[in-house]
Structure 1
Amino acid sequence: MGKEEFKSVFTTELFNEIHTMIEEKILSMENTILLLKHISYYSNIKRIWIEGFEGTSLCKRFEEMIVEEEKKKEEKNEKLLADLCECYISLSDDYIPKLLCICVSCILKANLKKEGNEEAQKEVEMALLSLSNLDVLYFVEQKQYLNEIKEIFKYRQEHHNLTRLAYQSAWEFLIYRLFFENSLEEDFVNELHFGREAARELEELTRNVDWKKKEEEMNKEEAKEEFALVRWLQTCESCFLRCSLWNEEFVGLINSIVQVFRSAKGNYKEISYQCIFLLKETSIRTGVEIKDLMKSGAADAVLEGIQQPTLEDEMINQFLEFFMNLSKRLKREMDEAMDEAKRKIIRRRVFDKLEEEGYEDTIISFHEIFDFLKGIRYHKLSFDIYYYLVNV
């Protein structure tokens, strides 16, 4: 089913009709939830936003059921609550803040340390995929998701209980939170090791992809390695846009992106372009040192890519921007080194003058500087004025 056809089927009228069928006992709530979970899974996979759910009688019924189930002290049906929450956040686009807080916490708790058969893993995958599209969560406090998402990451890293798509979706969820919670960066980079984990996922997927297959065959089945690879590259892009912290593990991640590019450049234009775009983005980031780009092989990969005989303008633009960014940064570093050398010479002359004329005259001259600072001409002072003041 194509995007437009999908959107034309799942409309406000259809969701209201489903609610009528529930009221008339034609459709059970269990089957309704199963249907909606599959609808939301497909829409999330294909990046199709369903616009007809909000305000329907079915949506209102789900909102009421979530509140009622959450209020229960005893005999609370945790699975029902998690299913309701999953459907609500997957199909809605205009959330009630209180309900969204309940849903995020409930879904994460329901999927902690889950193992089992393929069916159970698929359920976890669907749940985490629904969370991965929540880009607006600034009103949800860290205590409602942080400990649970950390446990999901750490348990997976130890037991490998999540599918690749589920694991990627969990990372995507946390990356969106970085935009509003800068304090998460330390946990994200150094405790949860995103750079290391993303590099490993890309390396394993690169080995498993059939690079001889034609590009148009790539997304025919959602579970294929090519699909997971594309989503992981998108997750890396989200990280580079939102996370300013950097460590050595990210050098390994850039190297993994380079390996993906080298494998894809002959046959997969979409993946090739995405890799080069990511390398270009790293060349902009001030936290990434030029030596990291050289050590990771990024510069070599761009040189290899630009020599290909058949390149589209958009790809060429990314190649050129990479080198332009490197050139600008190298020039800036050279200028800063030269400025520092000049400042050292001037400071040496000032210190020599102090020794020659004596400290008393210098202290008296400071009064003139202070008067100047109080005047309207303070904006003419160099930002480096503190280099020339001496504590006596």
Structure 2
Amino acid sequence: MEATYVRIAVEKLRVSSPITYEMLKLLSELESCSEIVQKQNIEKMNKMADEMNEKELQYTFIIELFKKINKMMDEQKTPLGIILTILKRFGFNFVMKNLPSYGLYSDLSSERKIEKMIVDEYEKMEEKDERLIADLSECNYLFGRSTSLKLNSICVPYLLKVALKKEEDEEAQKEVEMALFALSNIGLYDKVPKELYLNEIADIIQYHQKHHNLTQLAYQSAWQFLINRYPEVCELIYGLACDLNFVKEAPIELEELTRRLTLKMKEEGKGGKEVFEVMIIRRWLLSLEAFFSNLMLWKEECYGLVGSFMRALQASKDYFSDLSFENVCLLESMVTNKRIPLDALFKERVIDVILEEILQTRLKIRIFRECLAIFKFLAGRLDGKMKEENGKAKQKGMKRKFFDKLEEEGYEDSLTSIYVIVHHRSKRFRNSRLLTNSSDYFVFL
């Protein structure tokens, strides 16, 4: 029966997806081949998983490959470690390419397989297989499912133990990278007891700052895991981020990523397949959004952080433009946090980018709504209805500069037209009203 299923699937995909055809063939061989051939097949599959485009990952893998992998787990003919290696590689690519994977996890967890295996291994009376628990934990987090406090209390210490490895050989670096990468995928509102991670994650970040032992992705993942814990212990995490020099460290990483991306653009041209640097920049956006949303004290160094972010953002948009909603969410967190001074938003071109963004979204209503919400809040700050940090004279100058820019560059008419469209299509702005004297006030308040 299984042979028939694989044969039909292989024939179906032979022409339309050569990668999937070959992947199914290699998967089928794992059940009966030698250990050497197994290793060779896994290496081939890992490489092919990395080369799959978004369509193949989202549809072909879910429809064909994942069914096969899920069934292999049930039948237990292939060593579990091999199956988890394959799953982790696909999970890694789903997260890096910002693709939803919950459909996969619903199949995998129909009997809560992964969770049950983690708990069963953890509760063994005899010696536990720590490597297996770590591998299972990585699969659990990479497929993006919200997890329980109990499961996090088991998984996080095992992954941090892997991440604390100090060896600098390539294999150890990859293990550390995957452990931190999985931890960074724990949901923003999933509970993780602070005593399980605070000292360990601080040690990992500080050691890297002295010895540079982590990859760029591993270092970003360590910061993302830490900053994702903001909702749980906001003041504590913010203080730790300041102690660990996030405001100085993040710009260094962003500038290097921007430099490498710019160089790659010159060599290879814009567009096409998304590059690794863009994927990491996208992940930094998530960390920065949480950081700026919870910023409690503005420091001089924050100007550099905002500037580095804006340069990375511009470089990423030139190469791969599908970052719009993430961009808007981050920009919104910066505009709505009154601790971030308005002059920083003007100086580092944050306002310019918001204006450019709303005119490039081509009637994506979801993004327009967010942009208009930003402008509404910004208008309140400029109009002095909220407590301002800049003084009345400076505030008036910024307001005048902003309105002149709207008029001179043609934004005013465009924004008014967009507002009218959204006004009629979104209940969110039903009660808003346009003001006639938009040279003195913003187009809506």
Superposition TM-score, scaled by structure 1 size: 0.69
Match of 1:153 in 2: 205
Match of 2:417 in 1: none
CA contact (8 A) 2:381 2:387 kept: no
CA contact (8 A) 2:159 2:179 kept: yes
Deviations 1:312-365 (A, max 9, x none): 456888877766544421322698879xxxxxxxxxxxxxxxxxxxxxxxxxxx
**Counterpart pick for 2:251 among 195, 199, 210:** 199
1:257 Cα offset (Å)? 2.2
User: How many residue pairs get matched?
Assistant: 326
- Whether 2:74 is the aligned partner of 1:19: answer yes
Q: Which moved more, 1:130-139 or 1:238-247?
A: 238-247
CA contact (8 A) 1:211 1:264 kept: no
1:126 Cα offset (Å)? 1.6
**Aligned counterparts, 1:253-332, within 5 A:** 253-263=305-315, 266=318, 268-271=320-323, 275=327, 278-299=330-351, 305=356, 312=362, 325-332=377-384
For residues 245 and 4 of structure 1, do their structure 2 counterparts lie closer, same or farther at Cα, with a shift above 3 Å needed?
farther
CA contact (8 A) 2:162 2:179 kept: no
1:106 Cα offset (Å)? 1.4
**Counterpart pick for 2:121 among 66, 81, 89:** 66
Match of 1:180 in 2: 232
In the alignment, the residues of structure 2 paired with residue 335 and residue 187 of structure 1 have an alpha-carbon distance, to the nearest angstrom, of 25
Secondary structure at the counterpart of residue 52 of structure 1: helix
- Whether 2:169 is the aligned partner of 1:117: answer yes
In the alignment, the residues of structure 1 paired with residue 175 and residue 282 of structure 2 have an alpha-carbon distance, to the nearest angstrom, of 22
Deviations 1:284-326 (A, max 9, x none): 21110123224434346667x4899x77456888877766544
Match of 1:53 in 2: 108
Secondary structure at the counterpart of residue 288 of structure 2: helix
Match of 2:152 in 1: 100
Long gaps (5+) in structure 2: 1-55, 393-445
Match of 1:170 in 2: 222
In the alignment, the residues of structure 2 paired with residue 155 and residue 172 of structure 1 have an alpha-carbon distance, to the nearest angstrom, of 17
In the alignment, the residues of structure 1 paired with residue 293 and residue 233 of structure 2 have an alpha-carbon distance, to the nearest angstrom, of 14
Match of 2:265 in 1: 211
- Whether 2:62 is the aligned partner of 1:7: answer yes
The one-letter code sitting in structure 1 at the alignment partner of 2:141 is I
Greater RCO, CA 8 A, separation 6+? 1
1:118 Cα offset (Å)? 2.3
Superposition TM-score, scaled by structure 2 size: 0.62
Q: Which moved more, 1:329-338 or 1:240-249?
A: 329-338
Secondary structure at the counterpart of residue 19 of structure 1: helix
In the alignment, the residues of structure 1 paired with residue 343 and residue 214 of structure 2 have an alpha-carbon distance, to the nearest angstrom, of 35
**Counterpart pick for 1:34 among 73, 80, 85:** 85
CA contact (8 A) 1:67 1:99 kept: no
Secondary structure at the counterpart of residue 211 of structure 1: helix
For residues 10 and 146 of structure 1, do their structure 2 counterparts lie closer, same or farther at Cα, with a shift above 3 Å needed?
farther
Q: Which moved more, 1:101-110 or 1:181-190?
A: 181-190
In the alignment, the residues of structure 1 paired with residue 96 and residue 284 of structure 2 have an alpha-carbon distance, to the nearest angstrom, of 13
Deviations 1:233-287 (A, max 9, x none): 2332233345555433322111112223454565543357755663453122111
In the alignment, the residues of structure 2 paired with residue 318 and residue 140 of structure 1 have an alpha-carbon distance, to the nearest angstrom, of 30
CA contact (8 A) 1:111 1:124 kept: yes
Higher gyration radius (CA): 1
In the alignment, the residues of structure 1 paired with residue 286 and residue 377 of structure 2 have an alpha-carbon distance, to the nearest angstrom, of 22
Secondary structure at the counterpart of residue 248 of structure 1: coil
Secondary structure at the counterpart of residue 83 of structure 2: helix
Query: Pairwise CA RMSD of aligned residues?
Result: 3.6
In the alignment, the residues of structure 2 paired with residue 84 and residue 289 of structure 1 have an alpha-carbon distance, to the nearest angstrom, of 45
Percent of aligned pairs with the same amino acid: 32
1:103 Cα offset (Å)? 0.6
For residues 14 and 285 of structure 1, do their structure 2 counterparts lie closer, same or farther at Cα, with a shift above 3 Å needed?
same
Deviations 1:148-190 (A, max 9, x none): 1111111122222111222222222222210122233433442
Q: Which moved more, 1:241-250 or 1:310-319?
A: 310-319
For residues 227 and 93 of structure 1, do their structure 2 counterparts lie closer, same or farther at Cα, with a shift above 3 Å needed?
closer
Match of 2:300 in 1: 248
For residues 272 and 259 of structure 1, do their structure 2 counterparts lie closer, same or farther at Cα, with a shift above 3 Å needed?
farther
In the alignment, the residues of structure 2 paired with residue 206 and residue 30 of structure 1 have an alpha-carbon distance, to the nearest angstrom, of 37
